[in-house]
Amino acid sequence: MARNEFRFVVDGVDLDDASRVRIAGEIQKAGLNALHIVNAKLVDPVTVGHANLTLRPEWYGLWILSGDSALTLGREINDLGFYNKL
């Protein structure tokens, strides 16, 4: 399974938390739109992400999991009662 990672880095600009959250949301939307534009074939996709700086700053962003990794994570989430595969 291939993994592709894209980053957007801003250096030398001071941003407050609200600005970082807003930018992260816009980047997430742009990334999802880019997947749509290239007609990416996702198999049972699971999207994981947030912009909560105090919860887990290292998770700041959005992950799109597809195929086996999505099914594995989906089953684990389902065990918690949050996911229901149709």
Residue whose token pair is 């534009």: 37
pLDDT tier, 76 (very low <50, low <70, confident <90, very high otherwise): confident
| Model pLDDT, residue 51 | 63
Identify the burial level of 70 via C-beta atoms within 10 angstroms of its C-beta, where 0-12 means exposed, 13-18 middle and 19 or more buried. buried
Domain span at residue 46 reads 17-80
Give the total number of structural domains in the chain. Answer: 1
32: in domain: yes
pLDDT tier, 52 (very low <50, low <70, confident <90, very high otherwise): low
64: in domain: yes
- Which of the 8 DSSP states describes residue 59? G
48: in domain: yes
| Model pLDDT, residue 34 | 92
